[in-house]
Amino acid sequence: MDQRRRVPRTDAVLADPRLVAAAARAGRHVVKSAVTRAQERARGGEIEPERVADAALEELRRVAPARAVINATGVLLHTNLGRAPLSAAAVDAVATAAGNTDVEFDLDSGGRARRGRGALAALAAAVPEAGGVHVVNNNAAALVLAATALAAGREIVISRGELVEIGDGFRIPDLLVSTGARLREVGTTNLTHLADYTGAVGPETGFVLKVHPSNFRVEGFTGSVPARELAAARLGVPLVVDIGSGLLAREPLLPDEPDAASTLRAGADLVTASGDKLLGGPQAGLLLGRRELVERLRRHPLARALRVDKLTLAALEATLRDAEPPVRRALRARPEDLAERAAAIVRKLEGIVTAAVARVPATVGGGGAPGVELPSAAVALPAELARRLRTGEPAVVGRVEDGRLLLDLRTVPPGQDEALAGAVLAACR
């Protein structure tokens, strides 16, 4: 029979109870256009006519509005799950800023004020070593701004051991070259010496860049030149350091992770970092350093294209004023407390599903502290539950390991334990 004639009519497809439910959530016109596309695919022979409703549902799931997810992966900063969750204070600040705010207005004088001055003041107060601070869209934007303003048409000296791919196919060297700067690569993948830098710096140099290897580790016969030694060598050009994860001060639990204050004290002229990694704030790029350098970046025309919106500024300011945003709290959680929470959840599941407490390692992820394992505790469940939990309400994402699903509590805020247990019970039904 003609394939085209077997394609079900729109009314018939829309009567599918799953699509009726979807229409209640997403709106009838959205569902109808998904059905139309599925019918077209069936007419073209791309899918079986019986699968029109399924195909429409699959599309609706793919393009559904962003949903809240409980991060039970054990990866503290999961880039695909939106990295750092904001604190309650930051969420409140975002809600307040969503209307009209004094982001660029002085209520006292009635005149214009410096945009985002609250966030900038909080950042400056957190890192007194910085003579100037500025905030852009993300760390990649911070690097683009520095490269454009300080090295377009000139050279950036960088070690071959620090040519990093950030993720999703994006690479820092490509990013830098896209600004019109040239890379002067020095040293080798495993070893770079101070002499490599001193031999390369010359009249063409815009700046020397150090990039923290935040998502990998090289072991064995390796060595790089610390910022302190590069600064002490007085190369006569700015030393820019991309520290990656956004720690403003030393974190005792992550002794190998660089921080802004120490890096500036070591003599760096400019530090760049992300706002949504270990700082625990919104997506943002932080620039901290010598006052006149930061001022040059701030006044560069490109700065206007990279500026952050009022929601980001509000979230960043609240995060900087918060002693312990969720990421920091998760990092510092004690394994015994995590095991106790896991045991409480396991008790709730007794007689319903095979569940056990598992002592497992969690990680920082998201470009921070590679190789560091944080002792943690998880609820271990049958692996078959993984998909049901991901597609449930709330969505729960764990990790499947050795044939079982692990829900790692280090990355779950304690306030979500009850919702997590409820989601597991619903998935078992």
Ligand X SMILES: *Cc1c(COP(=O)(O)O)cnc(C)c1O
Q: Contact positions toward ligand X, by CB under 6 A?
A: 138-140, 166, 211-212, 214, 242, 244-245, 274, 285, 367
Report helix, strand and coil shares of the chain as percent, to nearest 5. Answer: 45, 20, 40
Nearest approach, Cβ of 312 to ligand X (angstroms)? 12
C-beta separation of 38 from 239 below 8 A:
no
Q: Which is nearer to ligand X, 139 or 319 (CB)?
A: 139
Distance CA 225, CA 123 (A): 28
Q: Which of 200, 265, 208 is nearest to 241 (CA)?
A: 208
End-to-end CA distance of the chain: 41
Rounded CA-CA distance 211/173 in Å is 10
Minimum CB–partner distance for residue 166 and ligand X (Å):
5
List the structure tokens of 30.
Answer: 């959205």
Least distance between ligand X and beta carbon 145 (Å): 12
Q: Give min distance, CB of 221 to ligand X, in A.
A: 23
Q: Which is nearer to ligand X, 84 or 421 (CB)?
A: 84
Cα–Cα distances in angstroms (integers) from residue 203 to residues 35, 152, 157, 200, 208, in the given order:
63, 14, 12, 10, 12
What is the β-pairing status of strands 374-382 and 155-159? unpaired
Which ranges of 114-245 would DSSP assign to H, the alpha helix? 117-126, 139-151, 172-177, 194-200, 227-232
Q: Which is nearer to ligand X, 247 or 397 (CB)?
A: 247
Nearer to ligand X, 369 or 424 (CB): 369
CB of 79 to ligand X, least distance (A): 8
Closer residue to ligand X in complex, CB, 187/282: 282
Please give the angle made by the CA atoms of 20, 24 and 26, to the nearest 5 degrees.
110
- Tokens read off for 426: 């619903």
Q: How far is the CB of 155 from ligand X (least distance, A)?
A: 20
Q: How far is the CB of 384 from ligand X (least distance, A)?
A: 34
Q: What is the Cα–Cα distance from 198 to 185, expressed in whole angstroms? A: 12
CA atoms within 13 A on the CB side of 150: 27
Residue type at position 280 = G
Considering the complex, state which of residue 245 and residue 411 has its C-beta at the smaller distance from ligand X: 245
Backbone angles phi, psi at 362, to 5 degrees: -100, 165
> Quick count: other Cβ atoms within 10 Å of Cβ 114?
12
Question: Nearest to residue 413, comparing CAs of 346, 348, 329, 339?
Answer: 329
Residue 93, both tokens: 């600040």
Nearest to ligand X of 39, 138 (CB atom): 138
Residue 22 CB, nearest approach to ligand X (Å): 33
Of residues 89 and 163, the one with the C-beta less far from ligand X: 163
Judged by beta carbon, residue 47 or residue 144, the one nearer ligand X is 144
CB 281 within 8 A of CB 316: yes
Return the residue matching tokens 């009249």. Answer: 203
Q: How far is the CB of 129 from ligand X (least distance, A)?
A: 20
Q: Is 289 left (phi over 0), alpha (psi -120 to 50) or beta?
A: left
Residue 164 CB, shortest distance to ligand X, in Å, is 6
**Smallest distance, ligand X to C-beta of residue 214, A:** 3
**3-state class (DSSP) for residue 403:** coil
In terms of CB distance, is 259 or 417 closer to ligand X?
Answer: 259
Residue type, 313: L
Nearer to ligand X (CB atom), residue 274 or residue 363 = 274
Taking CB atoms, the residue at the shortest distance from ligand X is: 244
